[in-house]
Chain A
Amino acid sequence: MSYLEYSVKTVPTGPRKLLYLHWPLILLLCAVAGVGFMMLYSVAGGSPSPWAEPQLKRFGLGLTLMFIVALVPIWFWRGLSWFAYGGTVLLLILVEVMGSVGMGAQRWIDLGFMRLQPSELMKITLVMALAAYYDWLPPERSSRPLWLLPPIALIVLPTALVLRQPDLGTSILLLAGGGMVMFMAGVHWGYFAAVIAMGIGLVTAVFQSRGSSWQLLKDYQYRRIDTFLDPSSDPLGAGYHITQSKIALGSGGWTGRGFMQGTQSRLNFLPEKHTDFIFTTLAEEFGFVGGISLLVLYGFIIVFCIFAALRNRDRFSSLLILGIAATFFLFFAVNMSMVMGMAPVVGVPLPLVSYGGSAMLVLMVAFGLVQSAHVHRPR
């Protein structure tokens, strides 16, 4: 609706759009993905199979998708927000009903050529729906209690579905990501203080429920929390990941052992060395310098996104870019905290680096949306 009123003429059209893409951001994404290929190559013992090569193909597909999404006007995507959200929720319900069981959790729909995890898709469509909502809502109403209910429902519904799968990591990402969009939309800060207070209450409830008939989490999730709080309590079992991950990381030192020279992450049977724990390999082989470099790359992605959002005078676009940046931030922040022993092991991949199709494609589509918002911004 809002676009009707600024001159669409000033928006670049046709192939000229390519010139107006946020190219530094694209280069950053490629750089991060490049780090990923290198690490997957190294983890496989210096071989493009089984991980680096498929990952490269998926990144290529992701990049193509990103360009396609970027060249379609942002107002088209905004019009699609509600359908996208509704469709993803339906898919989540579908996996709940008939999803195939993998790794003890029902998470994906088999599309034949890849396994689609609707929970990954949800991270983006939730941000889209929230941005569309606050674009539609007159800003002065955004803090009224009644107008808070729809966005809360929008966040809670998919979070609950994902928690049931059970996928603690993703539900935390959805909850926090949604909260951040609401914060940026200008909801009164008092509500957030209240929610944090409630969160503390919930954590207490989770611990209280343990072993009772209304137990809120699965046993393995409790064990992960236990071992987070005290990794030495079960060094052979669940605490093993954290201990081994810290040893691998720590032994990297300043500059690391060198490419493909890491021993820890391969010597020890870290079962998720190519997915959630890939950062340990990077940190071991390239040390502090390598780890910080990746962190800086991530930081630049966030900073570029925030500046792009600030420059954008369209409310939907700004909120969407900020929301995607926040989700992206949560991805690597949670993953790195987990690997460095600052958070429990919850199964969140390192974005664009960890091996995995759904997360990679969804993130690239999300950055396509960022590009589209950037190209088609009001001038």
Chain B
Amino acid sequence: MKRPSVDTAGTHRRLSRRALLLGGAQIGFMAMLGLRMRHLQVEQADQYRLLAEENRINIRLLPPARGEIFDRNGVPLAVNQPSYRITIVREDAGDVEQVIDALSNLVTLDPVKLERARTEMARSAPFLPVTLADHVTWDEMSRVAVNAPALPGITPEVGLSRRYPIKGDFAHVVGYVGPVSDYDLSKIEDPDPLLRIPRFQLGKVGIEAKQENLLRGKAGTKRVEVNSVGRVMRELDRREGQPGADLQLTLDQQLQSYVQARLGEESAAAIVMDCQTGDLLSLNSSPSFDPNLFVTGISVPDYRALTDNTYRPLAAKSVQGTYPPGSTFKMVTALAALEEGVITAEDTVWCPGHLDVSNRRFHCWKRAGHGHMTLAKALRESCDVYFYEVALELGIDRLSAMSERLGLGQRFDLPLSGIASGLNPSREWKETVRGAQWLVGDTVNASIGQGFVLASPLQLAVMTSRLATGRAIMPRLVKSVDGVDTGEGPSDLLGVNENHLRQIRKAMFDVSNNRRGTAYGSRIIEDAYRMAGKTGTSQVRNITTAERAAGVTKNEDLPWERRDHALFVNFAPYDNPRIAVAVVVEHGGGGSTAAAPIARDITLRALHGGTPPLAAYPAKDRDRIEAQEKRLNALIPDRDGNVGGERA
């Protein structure tokens, strides 16, 4: 097909005609747009300016009431209370300093907060309200309201503020809210307009943060007419928001508070878990802090005191802390060996106090050696050499598989901040992460929960629950959301031979009930509450050959941060397990002396549901226990957060 390339005169004339026609139409439409603009901006300008200035209609967001948090018995853990605050709109105030001056005659203004407000004002747009004073009393509020005409731009506002009546006992679980920060906003893709409300409270850590979406609710809106100084003239209409969902936790406030008191000032963590359902009955970390301090913004010295403390009060050690599980891990080695047929319960191993593996000497904690050991005896007396020998036969692959089945190395999906996944080491892990080959010595170390193995107290509690029930128990923290239960029916079976479990449980029973058991001192003598447990003492330092030759330094003679961690896990009652307990005392020394007594007291309290009868304790301890329980009871807050009868 041949045709002239350049348009012929005829077709080009047609194109030009059409182009000019369409171009004309376009210019015509633009003229129309211009006319419309003139109509809106020139002819109707006064009317719109009036709408905009004199009587502008504002859509205000109504923050929804945040969902409240309760314990399993309905004790309030996080509630909303009315709080009064005074805000200023720079644009409406005119001379800001003069207004603040006038205000300070009526209300006591905190100079620090005032300074903060001034910088906030300088930074933000002139028409945005800035909070001058928070948590103002009702009297001060009324004084401001009466003098409103003399205070242009000042608005007294009522809002809801978060309060944690039980204070420190739930700080690590419930967490706290705080004012939305720029950092928070930058993390969210499409922020809810609510977050732009000044001083809007957002969950920062713990359940408050992780369940933010459930707790926050949906904003309502109200349409108000405001005059030229920004004062609301009347409300035109309002659409209510949707309050956040109330959460009920599986925790028991009385137990939680007792455990917190029992842990005292130690750097420690403790967990009580319903070993049949997985419900967490208490989840403590000590020392703790008062979450109410964070609600309005914590002062710098207060915050520094918390961060500088070597006991790390801000850390939720029960789920965030990971420790070498030490001897509490021996059940895993034992169960794996029984399941794989590496040993039977009757096989014996000779413990001379050490074992030489590939030119390295691995010591038993008892230097003189335990002699002939069976599985039951080895667990009861916590013989290390027995497990070294068993693990050499078993190998790391099978050990690591059992460890995984029992819940170690797993990150449980609870609504808490920074849940640790611990470490269940395997050949593959060492090759990819450490870039080194797995050595047989690593297996020996792992067999007694040392070396690379790390577990959080939560994982230890889950492990104990699984040993006690033979089921794949999963921990649960939220019992119901707005009254709807979140439960999921019974857990699956682990698929472990029940006979093997029974042998291990019996050995654990002996730990705290047999005269030779490592935790015999912390036994319970009430038959209905008898517990089965295991002590653990995990080293945080290497003991050099030289030191061993000179005699291992006693824990009491070491600086705190180099002492051993003390651990104890147990379930109870032995014949019908209801709860599993895990206690870790950081650098507490020996598991049997530092952790086991705490676990025993907690166990009794959890099973009995109140101050346990003294008859449950060994006779020689009763006087001491009586005094201790009396002292602790005085520290436990009641439902309303009042401690020892005093009004908070």
State the CA gap A184–B16 with chains docked (Å): 8
Q: Mark A130-141, 1 if CB is under 8 A from B, else 0.
A: 000000001100
Minimal beta-carbon separation of A239 from chain B (angstroms): 12
Contacts of B124 in A (CB 8 A): 45
Could you tell me if A247 and B51 are in contact, using CB atoms closer than 8 angstroms? Answer: yes
Closest to A306 in B: B23
Could you tell me if B22 and A180 are in contact, using CB atoms closer than 8 angstroms? Answer: yes
Minimal beta-carbon separation of A242 from chain B (angstroms): 12
Interface-facing stretch out of A193-201, A208-216, A310-318: A310-318
Contacts of A337 in B (CB 8 A): 33, 36
A185 within 8 A of B: yes
A157 within 8 A of B: no
Interface-facing stretch out of B40-48, B364-372, B528-536, B611-619: B40-48
Give the 8 A-B residue pairs with the shortest CB-CB distance, closest first.
A250-B48, A2-B5, A251-B52, A5-B5, A288-B41, A253-B45, A139-B11, A306-B23
List 18 other contacts, CB 8 Å, given A186-B15, A306-B23: A4-B5, A139-B11, A183-B22, A236-B237, A246-B40, A249-B40, A252-B41, A267-B127, A288-B42, A302-B23, A310-B16, A310-B19, A310-B20, A315-B12, A318-B15, A329-B29, A333-B33, A342-B33
Minimal beta-carbon separation of B44 from chain A (angstroms): 5
Minimal beta-carbon separation of B184 from chain A (angstroms): 16
Closest to B8 in A: A139
Could you tell me if A2 and B6 are in contact, using CB atoms closer than 8 angstroms? Answer: yes
Could you tell me if B12 and A249 are in contact, using CB atoms closer than 8 angstroms? Answer: no
State the CA gap A331–B48 with chains docked (Å): 26
State the CA gap A283–B34 with chains docked (Å): 12
B361 within 8 A of A: no
Could you tell me if B52 and A6 are in contact, using CB atoms closer than 8 angstroms? Answer: no
Closest to B238 in A: A236
Contacts of B8 in A (CB 8 A): 139
Contacts of A253 in B (CB 8 A): 41-42, 45, 49
Contacts of B223 in A (CB 8 A): 235-236
B624 within 8 A of A: no
Could you tell me if B33 and A302 are in contact, using CB atoms closer than 8 angstroms? Answer: no
Minimal beta-carbon separation of B51 from chain A (angstroms): 5
Could you tell me if A314 and B48 are in contact, using CB atoms closer than 8 angstroms? Answer: no
Q: Which of A180, A184, A268, A295 contacts B15 (CB 8 A)?
A: A184
State the CA gap A65–B370 with chains docked (Å): 81
Could you tell me if B49 and A288 are in contact, using CB atoms closer than 8 angstroms? Answer: no
Could you tell me if A240 and B59 are in contact, using CB atoms closer than 8 angstroms? Answer: yes
Q: Interface range on chain B: under 10, 10 to 19, 20 to 34, or 35 or more?
A: 35 or more
Closest to B16 in A: A310
Contact status of A292 and B34, CB under 8 A, knowing A252-B41, A302-B23, A313-B7? yes
Could you tell me if A295 and B18 are in contact, using CB atoms closer than 8 angstroms? Answer: no
Contacts of B42 in A (CB 8 A): 253-254, 288
Q: Which of B11, B29, B37, B48 contacts A333 (CB 8 A)?
A: B29
Could you tell me if A249 and B27 are in contact, using CB atoms closer than 8 angstroms? Answer: no
Could you tell me if A295 and B33 are in contact, using CB atoms closer than 8 angstroms? Answer: yes
Closest to B223 in A: A236
State the CA gap A240–B59 with chains docked (Å): 10
Which A residues from 305 to 362 make CB contacts under 8 A with B? 306, 309-310, 313-315, 318-319, 322, 325-326, 329, 333, 336-337, 340, 342
Q: Interface range on chain A: under 10, 10 to 19, 20 to 34, or 35 or more?
A: 35 or more
Contacts of B18 in A (CB 8 A): 183-184, 186
A34 within 8 A of B: no
Interface of A is mostly: helix
Contact status of A306 and B37, CB under 8 A, knowing A247-B52, A315-B15? no
State the CA gap A196–B428 with chains docked (Å): 70
Which B residues from 45 to 98 make CB contacts under 8 A with A? 45, 47-49, 51-53, 56-59, 61, 91
B38 within 8 A of A: yes
A111 within 8 A of B: no
Could you tell me if B237 and A303 are in contact, using CB atoms closer than 8 angstroms? Answer: no
Closest to A185 in B: B15
Interface of B is mostly: helix
Minimal beta-carbon separation of B570 from chain A (angstroms): 50
State the CA gap A250–B45 with chains docked (Å): 5
Could you tell me if A326 and B34 are in contact, using CB atoms closer than 8 angstroms? Answer: no
State the CA gap A186–B16 with chains docked (Å): 10
Please, could you name 25 A-B residue pairs with CB atoms under 8 Å apart, sorted by A? Answer: A4-B5, A45-B124, A138-B1, A186-B11, A236-B239, A247-B48, A247-B56, A249-B40, A249-B48, A250-B45, A251-B49, A253-B42, A266-B127, A269-B61, A295-B30, A295-B37, A302-B23, A302-B26, A302-B30, A313-B7, A318-B7, A318-B12, A322-B19, A340-B40, A342-B36
Closest to B14 in A: A186
Contacts of B301 in A (CB 8 A): none
Contacts of A236 in B (CB 8 A): 59, 221, 223, 237, 239
State the CA gap A314–B12 with chains docked (Å): 9
State the CA gap A322–B57 with chains docked (Å): 44
State the CA gap A283–B56 with chains docked (Å): 18
A264 within 8 A of B: yes
A291 within 8 A of B: yes
B360 within 8 A of A: no
Minimal beta-carbon separation of A283 from chain B (angstroms): 7
Minimal beta-carbon separation of A130 from chain B (angstroms): 13
Closest to A342 in B: B36
Could you tell me if B1 and A315 are in contact, using CB atoms closer than 8 angstroms? Answer: no
Could you tell me if B33 and A340 are in contact, using CB atoms closer than 8 angstroms? Answer: yes
Closest to A142 in B: B11
State the CA gap A291–B45 with chains docked (Å): 14
Minimal beta-carbon separation of A355 from chain B (angstroms): 15
B489 within 8 A of A: no
Which B residues from 179 to 194 make CB contacts under 8 A with A? 193
Contacts of B19 in A (CB 8 A): 184, 306, 309-310, 318, 322
Closest to A298 in B: B30
Q: Mark A113-140, 1 if CB is under 8 A from B, else 0.
A: 0000000000000000000000000110
A158 within 8 A of B: no
A233 within 8 A of B: no
Q: Which of B6, B20, B49, B51 contacts A378 (CB 8 A)?
A: B6
State the CA gap A4–B3 with chains docked (Å): 11
State the CA gap A319–B12 with chains docked (Å): 11
State the CA gap A337–B29 with chains docked (Å): 10
State the CA gap A138–B49 with chains docked (Å): 57
Could you tell me if A45 and B52 are in contact, using CB atoms closer than 8 angstroms? Answer: no
Contacts of A246 in B (CB 8 A): 40, 48
Minimal beta-carbon separation of B13 from chain A (angstroms): 10
Contacts of B61 in A (CB 8 A): 269
- Which of the listed residues B37, B42, B45, B57 has the most CB atoms from chain A within 10 Å of its own CB? B37
Q: Mark B111-131, 1 if CB is under 8 A from A, else 0.
A: 000000000000011010000
Which B residues from 236 to 263 make CB contacts under 8 A with A? 237, 239
- Which of the listed residues B1, B8, B23 has the most CB atoms from chain A within 10 Å of its own CB? B23
Could you tell me if B30 and A333 are in contact, using CB atoms closer than 8 angstroms? Answer: yes
Contacts of A146 in B (CB 8 A): none
Minimal beta-carbon separation of A299 from chain B (angstroms): 5
Could you tell me if A268 and B41 are in contact, using CB atoms closer than 8 angstroms? Answer: no
Contacts of B41 in A (CB 8 A): 249-250, 252-254, 283, 287-288, 291
Minimal beta-carbon separation of A47 from chain B (angstroms): 10
Minimal beta-carbon separation of B478 from chain A (angstroms): 29
A13 within 8 A of B: no
B4 within 8 A of A: yes
Could you tell me if B125 and A266 are in contact, using CB atoms closer than 8 angstroms? Answer: yes
Contacts of B48 in A (CB 8 A): 246-247, 249-251
A248 within 8 A of B: yes
Q: Which of B38, B45, B58, B193 contacts A267 (CB 8 A)?
A: B58
A23 within 8 A of B: no
Could you tell me if A314 and B7 are in contact, using CB atoms closer than 8 angstroms? Answer: yes
Could you tell me if A250 and B40 are in contact, using CB atoms closer than 8 angstroms? Answer: yes
Could you tell me if B59 and A288 are in contact, using CB atoms closer than 8 angstroms? Answer: no
Could you tell me if B45 and A254 are in contact, using CB atoms closer than 8 angstroms? Answer: yes
Contact status of A315 and B11, CB under 8 A, knowing A246-B48, A250-B47, A268-B58? yes
Could you tell me if B51 and A251 are in contact, using CB atoms closer than 8 angstroms? Answer: yes
Minimal beta-carbon separation of B26 from chain A (angstroms): 5
